[in-house]
Chains A and B, each alone.
Chain A
Amino acid sequence: MSQRLIHSIVVSGLVLLLSGCHLDMYDQPKNPPLTSNAFSSDSSSARPLPEGVVARGHARTDELLYTGKTQGKFSVFFPFPVTERVLRRGQDRFNTFCSPCHGRLGDGNGMIVQRGFPRPRSFHNDTLRAEPPGYYFDVITNGFGRMYSYAASVKPEDRWAIIAYIRALQLSRRVPVETLSPDERALLIRNNP
């Protein structure tokens, strides 16, 4: 009797120990994001779309919104109204993706430039001030010289928001003092004694 009891305890103990080691639900045979996969030639589980395929909801028919052009020429208009919300989003995206090189003020003296990256032209020079928004859109989307494309990290809507913010930066350098309200003038004097 007692021997059977001991036996059953020992056996159930062993079974418990063994069953604690099953890991098949921890690593299931599926492909979560960012995993490798021996099946594909580049060993990544993420597959690029075959050429010419358009995913549902991703048809890019709006020429202005997605290329910055109208009838093949750089657009002078934005595809949507520039509101304060758009400007704030633009500021946030600009500081994240552009300021490392172009600097927070857009003068081309960001931290990465200080560490040896080629210095881009300042956004405040006359040629760049005269470029239409569509030109900026094209640079962000397709890159420019040694600057890589940011199409993969910045969505088209955010690219336009960034351009609106660059316009605000450009404007901020050339506002005649006379056009400021008394409050704004007082603030200016207080900040630049």
Chain B
Amino acid sequence: MKVVSRASIVAFLLVLALLVWVGSSIYRAGYTTGVGVPREQPIPFSHEHHVSGLGISCEYCHVSVTEASFAGIPPTYTCMTCHSQIWNTSPMLAAVRTSAATGKPLTWIRVHDLPDFTYFNHSIHVNKGVGCETCHGPVDRMPLTWRVNTLFMSWCLECHRAPEKFIRPREEVFTMNWKAAGTEEGKELVKKYGIAVQQLSDCSICHR
């Protein structure tokens, strides 16, 4: 009897461990985190086309990225600065014209969405030399936008513990396909920009 109950406890623990393992791999899989999965949008907006093809800079559309906590998604008005005149009969852009006519904003599907209990701020990162590419990947080559990083806490901390591995000169933050010269330069930039590495993994920085 004792043997049976012992065996069943062990078996139960094993099953539990298996469940946790399966659960955590599902949690980390691209399917659940959205990493590498292009998001369908109500309008097939292409960064590849507008950024690589036409050379429009990120700030033309994401105007607040260097000054505010959020980068901002462009309002319909921004699309209309060009699409009032070009491709202004294309059915692909019908929703943009309806939105401009009615004043009802477009609804984009979020690609990145941190839990509400975390605090994130774009301007501090961009002004201290963290490039869009470092967190968002090669956006200029995305026909539909997808997520390149999990946004797990461990991902944030990987950089917050050693920013010198990722940081670049401030003038290069919008550059895509940037190559680091080496960690020596990174270390110098950390000093130059006065980044307080020892505080950067304090819980209260991101959970306030």
Asked whether A and B interact, the reply is: yes
- Identify the A interface with B (CB < 8 A): 2-3, 5-6, 9-10, 13, 17, 20, 25-28, 30, 32-34, 36, 42-44, 95-97, 100, 111-112, 115-118, 146-148, 150, 152-153
A30, A118, A153: residue with the most chain B Cβ atoms closer than 10 Å: A153
Q: Say whether B60 contacts A153, CB under 8 Å.
A: yes
Instruction: Please pick, from B9, B73, B75, B85, the residue contacting A9 in the complex, using a CB distance under 8 A.
Output: B9
Q: Say whether B117 contacts A146, CB under 8 Å.
A: no
Taking A112-B86, A116-B85 as contacts, is the C-beta distance between A44 and B60 under 8 angstroms?
no
Say whether chain A's binding surface is mostly helix, strand, loop, or mixed: loop
Taking A6-B12, A26-B115, A34-B70 as contacts, is the C-beta distance between A42 and B103 under 8 angstroms?
yes
CB distance from B181 to the nearest CB of A (A): 24
Q: Say whether A27 contacts B116, CB under 8 Å.
A: yes
A110 (CB) vs chain B CBs: closest residue: B55
Q: Say whether B86 contacts A116, CB under 8 Å.
A: yes
B9, B63, B81, B82: residue with the most chain A Cβ atoms closer than 10 Å: B81
Say whether chain B's binding surface is mostly helix, strand, loop, or mixed: loop
Interface residues of B in 59-85 (CB under 8 A from A): 59-60, 63, 69-70, 72-73, 75, 77-78, 80-82, 84-85
B177 at the interface (CB under 8 A from A): no
Number of A-B residue pairs at CB separation under 8 A: 80
B56, B57, B85: residue with the most chain A Cβ atoms closer than 10 Å: B85
Q: Say whether B57 contacts A6, CB under 8 Å.
A: no
B44 at the interface (CB under 8 A from A): no
Instruction: Please pick, from B72, B77, B104, the residue contacting A42 in the complex, using a CB distance under 8 A.
Output: B104
B105 at the interface (CB under 8 A from A): yes
Instruction: Please pick, from B12, B23, B60, B85, the residue contacting A100 in the complex, using a CB distance under 8 A.
Output: B60
Determine the distance from Cα of A13 to Cα of B23 in the docked complex, in whole angstroms: 14
Taking A6-B9, A26-B116 as contacts, is the C-beta distance between A153 and B84 under 8 angstroms?
no
CB distance from A29 to the nearest CB of B (A): 9
Q: Say whether A28 contacts B117, CB under 8 Å.
A: yes
How many residues of B are counted as interface, with CB atoms below 8 angstroms from the partner's CB atoms? 36
B82 (CB) vs chain A CBs: closest residue: A112
Determine the distance from Cα of A146 to Cα of B82 in the docked complex, in whole angstroms: 10
Determine the distance from Cα of A153 to Cα of B54 in the docked complex, in whole angstroms: 19
23 A-B pairs within 8 Å (CB atoms) are namely: A3-B5, A5-B9, A6-B5, A6-B8, A9-B12, A20-B23, A26-B116, A30-B116, A32-B116, A33-B69, A34-B70, A42-B104, A97-B60, A100-B56, A100-B60, A100-B82, A116-B85, A116-B86, A117-B82, A117-B85, A117-B86, A146-B85, A148-B77
CB distance from A102 to the nearest CB of B (A): 13
B23 (CB) vs chain A CBs: closest residue: A20
Q: Say whether B54 contacts A100, CB under 8 Å.
A: yes
Determine the distance from Cα of A116 to Cα of B87 in the docked complex, in whole angstroms: 9
CB distance from B123 to the nearest CB of A (A): 13
Cβ-closest 6 pairs across A and B: A28-B116, A26-B115, A148-B81, A2-B5, A96-B57, A153-B63
Instruction: Please pick, from B2, B16, B69, the residue contacting A13 in the complex, using a CB distance under 8 A.
Output: B16
Task: Chain B residues near A44: list those with CB within 8 A.
Answer: 105
Q: Say whether A95 contacts B116, CB under 8 Å.
A: no
CB distance from A21 to the nearest CB of B (A): 11
Task: Chain A residues near B23: list those with CB within 8 A.
Answer: 20
CB distance from A130 to the nearest CB of B (A): 27
Task: Chain B residues near A118: list those with CB within 8 A.
Answer: 85
Taking A9-B9, A34-B70, A153-B78 as contacts, is the C-beta distance between A95 and B57 under 8 angstroms?
yes
A29 (CB) vs chain B CBs: closest residue: B116
A104 (CB) vs chain B CBs: closest residue: B55
